[in-house]
Chains A and B, each alone.
Chain A
Amino acid sequence: MLSSSYDDGICYVETMNLDGETNLKLKQSLEVTSGLQADSSFQNFKTIIKCEDPNASLYTFVGTMEYEDQEYPLSPQQLLLRDSKLRNTDYIYGVVVFTGHDTKVMQNAMNPPSKRSKIEVKMDKLIYLLLFSLVVVSSIGSVVFGILSSDDLQDGKVKRWYLKPDDSSIYYDPRRAAVAAILHFLTAIMLYSYFIPISLYVSIEIVKVLQSIFINQDIQMYHEESNKPARARTSNLNEELGQVATILSDKTGTLTCNSMEFIKCSIAGTAYGHGFTEVERAIARRKGSLLIENEQSKENHEQAKPAIKGYNFDDARIINGNWVYEPRSDIIQMFFRLLAICHTAIPEVDEETGKISYEAESPDEAAFVIAARELGFEFYQRTQTSISIHELDPVSCKHVEKSYKLLNVLEFNSSRKRMSVVVQDDEGKLLLLSKGADSVMFERLGKGGRGFENKTKEQMLEYADAGLRTLVLAYRRLDEEEYKSFNKRFMAATNSVTTDRDEKIEEAADSIERNLILLGATAVEDKLQNGVPECIDKLAQAGIKIWVLTGDKMETAINIGFACSLLRQGMKQIIITLDGPEIIHLEKDGNKEAIAKVSRDSVLYQINEGKKLLSSSNTESFALVIDGRSLAYALEDDAKNLFLQLAVGCASVICCRSSPKQKALVTRLVKAGSGKVTLAIGDGANDVGMLQEADIGVGISGAEGMQAVMASDIAISQFRFLERLLLVHGHWCYRRISLMICYFFYKNLTFGLTLFLYEAYSSFSGQPAYDDWYMSLYNVIFTSLPAIALGVFDQDVSARFCLKFPMLYQEGVQNLLFSWLQILSWLFSGVCNGVMIFFFCTSALQHRAFRKGGEAVGLEVLGATMYTCVIWVVNCQMALSISYFTLIQHMFIWGGIALWYLFLLAYGAITPTLSTSAFMVFVEGLASAPSYWIITLFVVIATLLPFFIYLAIQMRFFPMHHNMIQWMRFDGHADDPEYCQVVRQRSVRPTTVGVSARVDATVSQLARKVHDVVHSPP
C-alpha cells in the first residue's frame, strides 16, 4: 500500500477469510509515499521493491522499497493480503507485489484430496485377501483337474471311457493336460467369483446414499433460524463419522458466534450482572439446580425487550440510571465514563434513525462502548482531538453533553497488555484512564487505589473460570506539571526515528501509568454458540479428543478453553510460547538465523519439559497451549513426533495464532501420527486447508461465507449438531456399514464354498451345482435386499440411548465391529456354514431315493435343495444379526425366502427350452417330498446353531457396550437416573474434559454461587 484516503496513510481491513477474525485491522503505508494522493502523482512514480520469495506465512513480510534513491524497510504493516477487505476507507493506492498462486492465501491453499473411509480401505485389503484365496482355490482345482484329466488316457488306455478323452476338445484333452488345466483355471475363477461380492460395491453406494438422506432429513439437525438442515456433501464418509478419535475445531464462528457481550462487571468490589454464560447454564442444567428456574423466568422477561447485539447485562441496580442510588455511585460513574472514552472505536450515526453503531478494532471493544451507551454514557462523536459523549448526570438525572479533549492515546499492544488515554474534561481537569489485563494492572495501582483489590481479584477469578474475558479498569488524576513532563517525553519518543522508538514510547507510557486508582473489572463473554459446552461434554465422554486451532491471541483462546470447559481450574497448563525475554531480545538484533536456532531449542526444551511433567503424574489432567510461532518449530520434522506425544498425553490442546497452513499441518500430523480418524470443523475460508486435510471435514454453514462449506464433506449449521451427527448417525452408520460388509462377505463365502465343495465331487470339471439362473440371482434378488435394509435401517440402540451413553461411541473409535478378528470370524462363519450345508445336504440326500415314488436324487434335486438351504441360512443369519426390526426388515428377509420359492415355481413352469434341468423340479419333485422340507429345517437349525450359541454366550458373558444398553433397556434400568449416572461415571476419567468432569471439580464452588444468586436481592 502506498497511500490511502486518510492523510496519514492508514486503512482498515477485514481479514475474515484469512484468519477468521471479523475485527478490523489497521494497515499503514510508509510515510514517504502517503502523500501520493492523486492519479497524476503516479505518472513518474518509480520504485524498486525487494522482498522475500512467496511463502505461506501470513504474519511476516520482509522487504525493502527503494524510492527516490533511498531504501525503506517494508513490514507486514504495509502489506495488504489477498482476500482481505477494505473497510471504512474510501480508496487506497498500492503496488502489487505477488499475484495468483504466489499470494499468501494461495500458498496456504492445498489441493482438495479425495477421501475414502478407513473401512473402505480395509475392505479393499479384505478383497485382496479373498482374491488371493480365490486364486489359491482355483489353482488347487485346476491342478487336480489337470492330473485327473491326464490320468484318463495313459499309454493309449482310456480310463473314463464315457468321457471319450481320446476324442476331446482342448478343454479336456488329456494329452495336453497342462493347457486344459490353465484353461480350467479361468473357468474356475469365473465359477468361484462368488467369493468376492462384486455387488457389494453397488450395494454400499446405494446404502450410503440412503444414509446421507437420513442425515440430511434429520429434523434435529435442522437449524430453524437460518433455515439450514445438515447436508452430507459426500456420501463416502458416513461410517467414518462413527470412528472419530480427534476433533480439530476452529474457534471463531464454530465454537463461538463471534459476538462479544458485556455481561458482568465488578465495580468497587461489588459484582453486578446476573447473566449466565453458556457454560454456567450447562453446569446448572447438569445439576438440575435452582438456577434453571431462576433463569427461565428471566428469559421470559428478556424476550419482552429487543436484544441488543453485544450487550447482555442485566442488573436492576445499574440499569435505567438506578446506579445513581448505589453507595459508590461516583466510582460507577467513573467506570462507565472510562468505558465510553478509553477505546479506539469509531461511531457511525445512522442518519435516519439517529441510532449509533460502532466500528471497533476488536469486538470486545465494541461491546464496551455499547454497554456504556446502554447504561447512559453514549459515545457519539470522535474527532482527531476530542471525544464527545452524552452522559447521565447523577445530580440532575438528565443527559448532558460532555466533551473530552483527547490529549494522548497510549495504544494497546501485546506486551503492554493495556491501553490508556489522557483526556482533559470540560473543567480542565486532566485524567488518565486505563484498562488492561489483570497481570499488568494490579501492580500499577497506587497506594490509595487498592481499596477493594482483593474482592475484585476474587470476582475476576470467578469470571475467568466461567470463560469470560476480563479487563481491569483504573484511572488517575494528573496535575499539570506531571502531564507536561510526560507529554514532553512522549512527544520526543514518538517523533524519534531511531530503532528504539517503540521502547522509548513504552518507557514514557510506563512512567505515567502508575499510582492508578482501581475502579473495577469488566467481564465480556465471547458468546459461545448454543449448546456448545454440553456438546463438548458429550463428545469428551465419548472419548473423543478435542483440539482447538485458532488464529486468535493466546489469552482469547484460553478464555474460550475455559468457556467450553476444555480447561478448568486445577488443570495443569503446559504453555509453549516464544515470548520469552531472550527471544524478544534477539528479535531486536534481527539476526534471523540466531532467532530460528534459539527458538527451535526453546520449543524443544519446552516440549521435553512438558513431557517430563506429563509422565510424572497420571492422576492430574494437563492442557497444552501452544502459539503459532512455536507451532512452526514444533511441526518441523525433528520435533513433531515429540510434540505429538506430548499433545496426545494432554486432555485438551489449544493452538493459537495459527495460520491456515499450520492448521492443516497440525491436522496432518494428528492424522498420520495417531493413525486414527480426525475430524476438522470450521466455518471460514481459513479453515479450508484443515477441512481438506482431515479425514472428515465438517463445515459450519454460518455467516462467514460458503468457502468452508464448499470444501467440507458434511455441512451443519451449528456446532452442537456435531453431537448428533457423530454419536447417533456416525455410530449407526459405522455399525451398519461394517456389519453389512461382513455379512456380504459371509453370505458370498457360504455360497461360494458350497460350489467349491461340489467341485471336489465332480472331479473339478467346473460343473456348477446350481442352475445358472440360481447363481445369477443369488446376489441380485434373494440375499441383497435384506443386507441393504440392514445398511440403511439397523440400529443397535435408539438415538436417545446413543446420546445418553456417549461411551458407546468408543466401539467405533476402537473399531470393535470391523476389526480383523471380527471380519475373520465372519469369514470363518461363512466357511463353516458352507461346509455344513454341503455335507448335511449331500449326506441327507446321498444316492438314495428321496421320495415315496422311489425316484433317485439327480443333480437338479440336490442343487435346488442345497440352494434352498443356503437361502434360508443366510437370511436367518441376517435375522439373528440385526437388532432392529421394522416391517421393511421382515419384508426383505422373509420376502427374500418367499421370492426364492416363487422364482422356483415360475422358472419351473416356463418351457423346458429355457429352464432346462430346472423344469418342474419344485412342483413335481421337491414340494411333494417331505424329506426336502425336513432337510431344509434340519440344515437351517444345525448350521445356525453354532452362531446362535456364540451369540448367547457373548451377550451373557462378554457383552459389548451396545449389548449392555440393550439389557438395561430390557430390564427397565435405562430410565433410572441413578443407575445411568453410575454407568456414565465410568466414562468420566480424571483426564476427561467437559462439563461433567468440571462439575465434579467445582461442586463446592458452584454451591456457593447458587447460594449467592438465590440470596442476592433482585
Chain B
Amino acid sequence: MEGPVHIYYELDNFYQNHRRYVKSRSDKQLRSKASETETTNCAPEATTSDGSVIVPCGLIAWSLFNDTYSFAVNSKIIEVNKKNIAWLSDKEHKFGSDVYPKNFQMGGLIGGAKLNASIPLSEQEDLIVWMRTAALPRFRKLYGRIETDLAANEQITVTIQNNYNTYSFEGKKNLVLSTTSWIGGKNDFLGTAYLTVGSLCLFLAMGFIILYLLKPRTLGDPSYLSWNRNPDGHY
C-alpha cells in the first residue's frame, strides 16, 4: 500500500445520529471563550455537580472515543501522523484557539477520553473529528495517517488499548487501514451500479429497436384510444 495509508476506527451500532446525541453540544462554547457559559443543549453534561461549566460540554464530547492504536512492522514502530485529520474549516472557524478544556470528564461517570487542558480545542483534532457526527450507525472516523508505504504481505503488529465500551450496546469496533484514490476509499457499489444501469439502458434500447423493426405500428391510430375501445365509456 502506498502512503499515505489512512487509519480509521469503525464503530457499528453506535447511534451518533441520535437526536439527543446530535443536539448535545454547544457550537458557541466551542468557538470562543466568551460564550463559555452557553450550555443550553448540553444537559446532562453541561455543568459539574457543583455548578461550574464543562468545556467542551455535551454528550458528544463526553463520549469521545478513547481507544489507542500503535503499529509496528517487524517490531519496528511505524509513525502515525495525527495531524491534519480534521476538516480545515472546523479547526479554523468552529473550534476556538483560545478555548481550553475545563472541568472535562470530572464528573462521577467518565464517558470517554480525557483532554489535555493545556492544548486549545482547535488543536484537539481527535475531538474535532469525533464532533462531526456520523450519518449512519455504522461509521468510520479518521484516526491518523501512516505516511510511509506498506509493502505487500508485510506483517503489521497492532497494539490496541481497548478502552472504549461497546459491549453494553452490542456494538462492534473495527480498525481499517485504507488508501484513497481520486474517488475516495474502496467502494464497489458505484461501479457495479453504473454498469448495471448502463447495461439495462442498452438492453432496453436494443429491445425497442428490435420491436420497432419487427412490428412497426402506425403512429397516431385512434383505435387505440381507451374510449374508442370501450364504447360504453363514451358517456
Contacts and interface: CB of A to CB of B under 8 A. Distances in A.
Interface in B134-192: 134-142, 145, 165, 168-169, 178, 180-187, 189-190
Question: What 5 A-B pairs are tightest by C-beta distance, nearest first?
Answer: A862-B135, A849-B185, A162-B63, A765-B19, A848-B185
A844 B88 contact: no
Interface stretch (B97-105, B113-121, B217-225): B217-225
A913 interface: yes
Interface stretch (A350-358, A787-795, A931-939): A931-939
Interface in B176-235: 178, 180-187, 189-190, 193-194, 197, 200-201, 204, 208, 217, 219-228, 233-235
Contact of B135 (A168, A807, A857, A989): A857
Contact of B226 (A162, A816, A843): A816
A167 to B, nearest CB: 4
Interface in A738-760: none
Interface in A968-1001: 968, 971, 973, 983, 986, 989
Contacts of A843: 189, 193
25 contacts: A161-B168, A161-B169, A167-B44, A168-B20, A169-B43, A543-B235, A762-B137, A843-B193, A844-B190, A846-B138, A848-B187, A849-B142, A856-B134, A857-B139, A858-B132, A859-B132, A912-B93, A919-B93, A931-B184, A938-B190, A938-B193, A941-B197, A945-B197, A968-B219, A986-B223
A852 B180 contact: yes
Contacts of B82: none
Contacts of A917: 132-133
A543 B227 CA distance: 11
A800 interface: no
Nearest to B183: A931
A971 B220 CA distance: 9
B69 interface: no
Given A847-B138, A945-B197, A956-B217, A164 B44 contact: yes
A374 to B, nearest CB: 47
A912 B205 CA distance: 49
B222 A912 contact: no
Contact of A964 (B8, B63, B194, B225): B225
Given A162-B14, A934-B190, 16 more contacts: A160-B168, A161-B168, A545-B235, A766-B19, A847-B136, A848-B185, A850-B185, A862-B136, A920-B93, A930-B182, A931-B190, A938-B193, A949-B204, A967-B220, A986-B222, A986-B228
Given A169-B43, A857-B134, A938 B197 contact: yes
Contacts of A162: 14, 21, 59, 62-63, 111
B82 to A, nearest CB: 13
A168 B44 contact: yes
A321 interface: no
A163 to B, nearest CB: 6
B32 to A, nearest CB: 10
B133 A930 contact: no
A849 B139 CA distance: 10
B18 interface: yes
A931 to B, nearest CB: 5
Q: Which of B182, B225, B226 has its CB near the most chain A CB atoms (within 10 A)?
A: B225
Contact of B227 (A163, A814, A842): A814
Contact of A163 (B21, B142, B221): B21
A763 B189 CA distance: 25
A924 B87 contact: yes
A763 B87 contact: no
B27 A913 contact: yes
Given A854-B180, A964-B220, A919 B189 contact: no
A959 interface: yes
B94 A912 contact: yes
Nearest to A171: B20
Given A913-B27, A919-B93, A952-B208, A765 B87 contact: no
Contacts of A852: 180-182, 184
A767 B200 contact: no
Nearest to A158: B168
Contacts of B71: none
Interface in A811-860: 814, 816, 840, 842-860
A961 interface: yes
Contacts of B137: 761-763
A924 B94 CA distance: 14
A857 B189 CA distance: 15
Interface in B27-79: 27-28, 31, 43-45, 59, 62-63
Q: Which of B180, B194, B197 has its CB near the most chain A CB atoms (within 10 A)?
A: B180
Interface in A145-187: 157-164, 167-169, 171-172
Interface of B: 4, 6, 8, 10, 14-22, 27-28, 31, 43-45, 59, 62-63, 87-89, 93-94, 111, 132-142, 145, 165, 168-169, 178, 180-187, 189-190, 193-194, 197, 200-201, 204, 208, 217, 219-228, 233-235
A925 interface: yes
B101 to A, nearest CB: 19
Contact of A971 (B139, B142, B194, B219): B219
Contact of A859 (B14, B17, B138, B180): B17
Q: Which of A543, A648, A767, A917 has its CB near the most chain B CB atoms (within 10 A)?
A: A767
B168 A848 contact: no
A850 B224 contact: no
Given A545-B235, A859-B134, A942-B193, A765 B20 contact: yes
A861 interface: yes
A909 to B, nearest CB: 11
Contacts of A216: none
Contacts of B186: 848
A334 B187 CA distance: 106
Given A929-B184, A945-B201, A814 B27 contact: no
Given A761-B137, A958-B224, A163 B235 contact: no
Nearest to A842: B136
Contacts of A912: 27, 31, 89, 93-94
Given A931-B184, A935-B190, A971-B220, A767 B132 contact: no
B15 A973 contact: no
Contacts of B183: 930-931, 934
B204 to A, nearest CB: 6
Given A762-B137, A856-B139, A983 B220 contact: yes
Contacts of B139: 847, 856-857
B194 A172 contact: no
B11 to A, nearest CB: 9
A157 B220 contact: no
A361 to B, nearest CB: 41
A565 interface: no
B218 to A, nearest CB: 10
A245 interface: yes
Contacts of A861: 135
A964 to B, nearest CB: 4
B99 to A, nearest CB: 14
A965 interface: yes
A863 interface: yes
B22 A767 contact: yes
B185 A860 contact: no
A163 B234 contact: no
A810 interface: yes
B15 A762 contact: yes
A850 B184 contact: yes
Given A840-B193, A855-B142, A846 B87 contact: no
A762 B185 CA distance: 24
B168 A989 contact: no
B235 A856 contact: no
Interface in A129-158: 157-158
A924 B186 CA distance: 21
Contacts of B180: 849, 851-854
Nearest to A971: B219
Contacts of B181: 852
